[in-house]
Protein backbone atom coordinates (compact mmCIF):
# COMPACT_ATOMS: atom_id res chain seq x y z
CA UNK A 1 0.00 0.00 0.00
CA UNK A 2 1.40 3.38 -1.06
CA UNK A 3 2.03 6.09 1.48
CA UNK A 4 -0.20 9.13 1.02
CA UNK A 5 0.56 12.81 1.43
CA UNK A 6 -1.85 15.76 1.55
CA UNK A 7 -0.61 19.12 0.23
CA UNK A 8 -2.94 22.01 1.07
CA UNK A 9 -3.10 25.39 -0.63
CA UNK A 10 -3.16 27.37 2.60
CA UNK A 11 -3.52 30.76 0.94
CA UNK A 12 -6.73 29.79 -0.88
CA UNK A 13 -8.08 28.21 2.32
CA UNK A 14 -7.31 31.42 4.18
CA UNK A 15 -9.06 33.72 1.71
CA UNK A 16 -12.08 31.44 1.46
CA UNK A 17 -12.39 31.30 5.25
CA UNK A 18 -12.14 35.09 5.48
CA UNK A 19 -14.78 35.88 2.86
CA UNK A 20 -17.16 32.99 3.56
CA UNK A 21 -17.89 33.89 7.17
CA UNK A 22 -19.34 36.99 8.82
CA UNK A 23 -16.86 39.03 10.88
CA UNK A 24 -16.04 37.30 14.16
CA UNK A 25 -14.02 38.69 17.05
CA UNK A 26 -12.21 37.29 20.06
CA UNK A 27 -13.01 38.33 23.64
CA UNK A 28 -10.24 40.92 23.16
CA UNK A 29 -12.02 42.33 20.10
CA UNK A 30 -9.53 40.98 17.54
CA UNK A 31 -10.82 39.60 14.20
CA UNK A 32 -11.03 35.79 14.17
CA UNK A 33 -13.34 34.82 11.28
CA UNK A 34 -10.57 33.55 9.00
CA UNK A 35 -8.95 31.59 11.85
CA UNK A 36 -12.27 29.96 12.73
CA UNK A 37 -13.09 29.06 9.11
CA UNK A 38 -9.57 27.76 8.49
CA UNK A 39 -9.73 25.63 11.65
CA UNK A 40 -13.07 24.18 10.60
CA UNK A 41 -11.84 23.24 7.12
CA UNK A 42 -8.59 21.70 8.38
CA UNK A 43 -10.30 19.75 11.16
CA UNK A 44 -12.84 18.33 8.70
CA UNK A 45 -10.08 17.31 6.28
CA UNK A 46 -8.04 15.60 8.99
CA UNK A 47 -11.13 13.90 10.40
CA UNK A 48 -12.03 12.52 6.96
CA UNK A 49 -8.57 11.57 5.71
CA UNK A 50 -6.38 11.29 8.84
CA UNK A 51 -3.18 11.78 6.83
CA UNK A 52 0.20 10.54 8.00
CA UNK A 53 2.00 13.08 5.80
CA UNK A 54 0.64 16.60 5.37
CA UNK A 55 1.76 20.17 4.68
CA UNK A 56 0.04 23.52 4.36
CA UNK A 57 1.69 25.85 1.85
CA UNK A 58 1.36 29.64 1.91
CA UNK A 59 2.22 32.54 -0.37
CA UNK A 60 4.45 35.19 1.14
CA UNK A 61 4.07 38.93 0.45
CA UNK A 62 6.27 40.41 -2.24
CA UNK A 63 7.32 39.90 -5.83
CA UNK A 64 7.60 36.42 -7.33
CA UNK A 65 9.55 35.06 -10.27
CA UNK A 66 6.54 35.73 -12.52
CA UNK A 67 6.34 39.40 -11.53
CA UNK A 68 9.97 39.80 -12.56
CA UNK A 69 9.18 38.51 -16.05
CA UNK A 70 5.81 40.22 -16.49
CA UNK A 71 5.20 43.33 -14.39
CA UNK A 72 1.44 43.30 -15.10
CA UNK A 73 1.07 39.85 -13.51
CA UNK A 74 -1.75 40.02 -10.92
CA UNK A 75 -1.41 43.82 -11.01
CA UNK A 76 -5.17 44.36 -10.64
CA UNK A 77 -5.52 42.20 -7.53
CA UNK A 78 -6.51 44.04 -4.39
CA UNK A 79 -4.28 44.28 -1.34
CA UNK A 80 -4.91 41.66 1.35
CA UNK A 81 -7.41 43.19 3.81
CA UNK A 82 -5.77 44.18 7.09
CA UNK A 83 -8.38 42.23 9.07
CA UNK A 84 -7.08 39.11 7.31
CA UNK A 85 -3.39 40.05 7.56
CA UNK A 86 -3.55 40.22 11.36
CA UNK A 87 -5.06 36.71 11.51
CA UNK A 88 -2.36 34.98 9.45
CA UNK A 89 0.14 34.52 12.32
CA UNK A 90 -2.58 32.92 14.45
CA UNK A 91 -3.61 30.60 11.60
CA UNK A 92 -0.01 29.44 11.40
CA UNK A 93 0.21 29.12 15.17
CA UNK A 94 -2.70 26.70 15.41
CA UNK A 95 -1.25 24.63 12.56
CA UNK A 96 2.03 24.40 14.49
CA UNK A 97 0.17 23.37 17.64
CA UNK A 98 -1.63 20.72 15.60
CA UNK A 99 1.68 19.36 14.38
CA UNK A 100 1.07 20.25 10.73
CA UNK A 101 4.16 21.39 8.76
CA UNK A 102 4.01 24.84 7.14
CA UNK A 103 5.95 25.48 3.92
CA UNK A 104 6.63 28.85 2.30
CA UNK A 105 9.49 30.38 0.34
CA UNK A 106 10.11 34.02 -0.51
CA UNK A 107 9.79 34.77 -4.22
CA UNK A 108 7.74 31.66 -5.04
CA UNK A 109 4.00 31.11 -5.16
CA UNK A 110 2.30 28.42 -3.10
CA UNK A 111 1.17 26.71 -6.32
CA UNK A 112 4.76 26.17 -7.45
CA UNK A 113 5.88 24.95 -4.04
CA UNK A 114 3.01 22.45 -4.00
CA UNK A 115 3.84 21.36 -7.56
CA UNK A 116 7.49 20.79 -6.60
CA UNK A 117 6.57 18.81 -3.48
CA UNK A 118 3.92 16.79 -5.35
CA UNK A 119 6.37 15.68 -8.03
CA UNK A 120 9.08 14.95 -5.47
CA UNK A 121 6.69 12.84 -3.39
CA UNK A 122 5.47 11.02 -6.48
CA UNK A 123 9.05 10.11 -7.43
CA UNK A 124 9.47 8.68 -3.94
CA UNK A 125 6.46 6.41 -4.41
CA UNK A 126 3.77 8.44 -2.64
CA UNK A 127 0.17 8.88 -3.65
CA UNK A 128 -0.41 12.64 -3.59
CA UNK A 129 -3.58 14.60 -2.85
CA UNK A 130 -3.43 18.32 -3.65
CA UNK A 131 -6.16 20.27 -1.86
CA UNK A 132 -6.98 23.45 -3.77
CA UNK A 133 -9.84 25.05 -5.72
CA UNK A 134 -7.31 26.50 -8.19
CA UNK A 135 -7.76 25.02 -11.65
CA UNK A 136 -4.06 25.69 -12.40
CA UNK A 137 -3.35 22.63 -10.24
CA UNK A 138 -5.05 20.39 -12.79
CA UNK A 139 -1.73 20.38 -14.67
CA UNK A 140 -0.34 18.11 -11.93
CA UNK A 141 -2.94 15.38 -12.15
CA UNK A 142 -1.73 11.96 -13.26
CA UNK A 143 -2.03 8.38 -12.05
CA UNK A 144 -0.46 9.21 -8.66
CA UNK A 145 -1.53 12.83 -8.12
CA UNK A 146 -5.18 13.76 -7.56
CA UNK A 147 -6.83 17.10 -6.89
CA UNK A 148 -9.39 17.63 -4.13
CA UNK A 149 -11.54 20.74 -4.47
CA UNK A 150 -12.33 21.78 -0.87
CA UNK A 151 -15.32 23.85 -1.99
CA UNK A 152 -17.21 21.14 -3.90
CA UNK A 153 -15.50 18.35 -1.89
CA UNK A 154 -14.89 16.42 -5.12
CA UNK A 155 -11.82 14.63 -6.40
CA UNK A 156 -10.48 15.16 -9.90
CA UNK A 157 -8.47 12.49 -11.68
CA UNK A 158 -7.50 12.25 -15.36
CA UNK A 159 -10.84 10.95 -16.59
CA UNK A 160 -12.89 13.42 -14.57
CA UNK A 161 -10.81 16.27 -15.97
CA UNK A 162 -11.55 15.00 -19.47
CA UNK A 163 -15.24 14.75 -18.61
CA UNK A 164 -15.39 18.28 -17.18
CA UNK A 165 -13.10 20.20 -19.52
CA UNK A 166 -12.94 18.03 -22.64
CA UNK A 167 -9.15 17.65 -22.42
CA UNK A 168 -6.63 15.74 -20.32
CA UNK A 169 -4.44 17.25 -17.56
CA UNK A 170 -1.31 17.11 -19.72
CA UNK A 171 -3.04 19.54 -22.12
CA UNK A 172 -4.10 21.93 -19.40
CA UNK A 173 -1.05 24.17 -19.54
CA UNK A 174 -1.78 24.90 -23.21
CA UNK A 175 -5.49 25.30 -22.43
CA UNK A 176 -4.81 27.91 -19.73
CA UNK A 177 -2.31 29.74 -21.94
CA UNK A 178 -4.90 29.98 -24.72
CA UNK A 179 -7.88 31.19 -22.66
CA UNK A 180 -5.86 33.55 -20.46
CA UNK A 181 -7.00 34.89 -17.11
CA UNK A 182 -8.33 38.41 -16.52
CA UNK A 183 -7.88 38.13 -12.74
CA UNK A 184 -4.16 37.37 -13.03
CA UNK A 185 -3.65 39.54 -16.16
CA UNK A 186 -2.58 36.57 -18.28
CA UNK A 187 -3.08 37.69 -21.92
CA UNK A 188 -4.11 34.41 -23.58
CA UNK A 189 -5.33 34.46 -27.18
CA UNK A 190 -8.02 37.05 -27.81
CA UNK A 191 -11.04 35.43 -29.44
CA UNK A 192 -10.29 31.93 -28.11
CA UNK A 193 -12.52 30.84 -25.23
CA UNK A 194 -12.69 27.64 -23.20
CA UNK A 195 -14.81 25.64 -25.67
CA UNK A 196 -12.73 26.67 -28.67
CA UNK A 197 -9.47 25.93 -26.85
CA UNK A 198 -10.67 22.44 -25.86
CA UNK A 199 -11.90 21.75 -29.40
CA UNK A 200 -8.58 22.78 -30.95
CA UNK A 201 -6.55 20.78 -28.43
CA UNK A 202 -8.65 17.71 -29.12
CA UNK A 203 -8.10 18.14 -32.84
CA UNK A 204 -4.39 19.00 -32.80
CA UNK A 205 -3.20 17.66 -29.44
CA UNK A 206 -1.15 20.66 -28.32
CA UNK A 207 -0.72 24.41 -28.80
CA UNK A 208 2.55 23.83 -30.67
CA UNK A 209 0.72 21.61 -33.16
CA UNK A 210 -2.00 24.23 -33.61
CA UNK A 211 0.63 26.88 -34.34
CA UNK A 212 2.36 24.57 -36.82
CA UNK A 213 -0.91 23.83 -38.62
CA UNK A 214 -2.47 27.29 -38.84
CA UNK A 215 -3.22 26.74 -42.51
CA UNK A 216 -5.65 23.96 -41.57
CA UNK A 217 -7.80 26.37 -39.57
CA UNK A 218 -10.68 28.20 -41.19
CA UNK A 219 -12.55 31.48 -40.96
CA UNK A 220 -12.01 33.68 -37.93
CA UNK A 221 -9.74 31.16 -36.16
CA UNK A 222 -7.32 31.14 -39.09
CA UNK A 223 -7.17 34.93 -38.94
CA UNK A 224 -6.64 34.88 -35.14
CA UNK A 225 -3.73 32.45 -35.28
CA UNK A 226 -2.05 34.04 -38.30
CA UNK A 227 -2.11 37.41 -36.52
CA UNK A 228 -1.05 35.97 -33.18
CA UNK A 229 1.62 37.77 -31.18
CA UNK A 230 3.87 34.79 -30.49
CA UNK A 231 5.78 36.61 -27.76
CA UNK A 232 2.50 37.22 -25.96
CA UNK A 233 1.45 33.56 -26.11
CA UNK A 234 4.96 32.53 -25.05
CA UNK A 235 4.57 34.75 -21.99
CA UNK A 236 1.12 33.32 -21.26
CA UNK A 237 2.57 29.81 -21.30
CA UNK A 238 5.33 30.86 -18.92
CA UNK A 239 2.87 32.46 -16.51
CA UNK A 240 0.48 29.50 -16.32
CA UNK A 241 3.09 26.74 -16.19
CA UNK A 242 3.64 25.39 -12.68
CA UNK A 243 7.26 25.19 -11.58
CA UNK A 244 8.18 21.73 -10.34
CA UNK A 245 11.89 22.19 -9.68
CA UNK A 246 12.14 24.78 -6.90
CA UNK A 247 15.07 24.23 -4.56
CA UNK A 248 13.23 23.71 -1.27
CA UNK A 249 15.76 21.66 0.65
CA UNK A 250 12.92 19.63 2.16
CA UNK A 251 12.68 15.87 2.56
CA UNK A 252 9.20 14.38 2.23
CA UNK A 253 9.83 12.62 5.54
CA UNK A 254 9.97 16.10 7.10
CA UNK A 255 6.28 16.43 6.21
CA UNK A 256 5.17 13.66 8.52
CA UNK A 257 2.49 15.01 10.85
CA UNK A 258 3.86 15.70 14.32
CA UNK A 259 2.07 14.95 17.57
CA UNK A 260 -0.60 17.51 18.43
CA UNK A 261 -0.07 19.78 21.44
CA UNK A 262 -3.65 19.38 22.65
CA UNK A 263 -3.20 21.45 25.81
CA UNK A 264 -1.61 24.29 23.84
CA UNK A 265 -4.31 24.05 21.18
CA UNK A 266 -7.08 24.06 23.79
CA UNK A 267 -5.65 27.15 25.47
CA UNK A 268 -5.27 28.84 22.08
CA UNK A 269 -8.89 28.15 21.09
CA UNK A 270 -10.17 29.32 24.47
CA UNK A 271 -8.17 32.54 24.09
CA UNK A 272 -9.87 33.14 20.74
CA UNK A 273 -13.30 32.41 22.20
CA UNK A 274 -13.94 29.32 20.06
CA UNK A 275 -16.07 27.53 22.65
CA UNK A 276 -18.10 25.55 20.10
CA UNK A 277 -15.04 23.81 18.63
CA UNK A 278 -13.38 22.84 21.89
CA UNK A 279 -15.46 19.66 22.10
CA UNK A 280 -13.96 18.55 18.76
CA UNK A 281 -10.57 18.29 20.44
CA UNK A 282 -11.71 15.37 22.59
CA UNK A 283 -12.47 13.40 19.44
CA UNK A 284 -9.05 14.16 17.96
CA UNK A 285 -7.26 13.57 21.25
CA UNK A 286 -8.63 10.02 21.53
CA UNK A 287 -6.83 9.01 18.37
CA UNK A 288 -3.99 11.28 17.33
CA UNK A 289 -2.16 8.52 15.46
CA UNK A 290 -2.50 9.10 11.70
CA UNK A 291 -3.70 6.06 9.74
CA UNK A 292 -3.84 5.38 6.07
CA UNK A 293 -7.46 5.79 5.00
CA UNK A 294 -8.87 5.38 1.54
CA UNK A 295 -9.01 8.78 -0.13
CA UNK A 296 -11.38 7.80 -2.94
4-162+242-286 under CATH 3.40.50.1010, yes or no = yes
pLDDT tens digits for range 240-285: 999 999 999 899 999 999 999 989 999 999 999 988 887 777 666 6
Burial class, 205, CB count within 10 angstroms (exposed 0-12 / middle 13-18 / buried 19+): middle
Mean pLDDT of 185-192: 89
- Which of 10, 107, 106, 94 has its CA nearest to residue 56? 10
pLDDT tens digits for range 37-93: 999 999 889 888 889 999 999 998 877 777 566 666 565 567 889 999 999 999 999
Residue 296: pLDDT band with limits 50, 70, 90: very low
CB atoms within 10 A of CB 71: 10
Residue 182: pLDDT band with limits 50, 70, 90: confident
> Mean pLDDT score of the chain, rounded to an integer?
89
Instruction: Determine the topology of domain 165-240 in CATH.
Output: DNA polymerase; domain 1 (1.10.150)
Residue 58 to residue 206: CA distance in whole angstroms: 32
Q: Where are the domains of the chain?
A: 4-162+242-286, 165-240
pLDDT number for residue 68: 65
Amino acid sequence: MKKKIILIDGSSYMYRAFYALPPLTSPKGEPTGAIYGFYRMISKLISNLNPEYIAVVFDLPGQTTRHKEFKEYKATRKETPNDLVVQIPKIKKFLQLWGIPIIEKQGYEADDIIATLAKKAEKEGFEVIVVSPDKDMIQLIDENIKLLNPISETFLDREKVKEKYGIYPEQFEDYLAMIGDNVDNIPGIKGVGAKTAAKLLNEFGSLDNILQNKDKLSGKLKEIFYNLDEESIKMSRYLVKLQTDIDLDIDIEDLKKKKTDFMGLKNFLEELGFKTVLKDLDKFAKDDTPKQRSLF
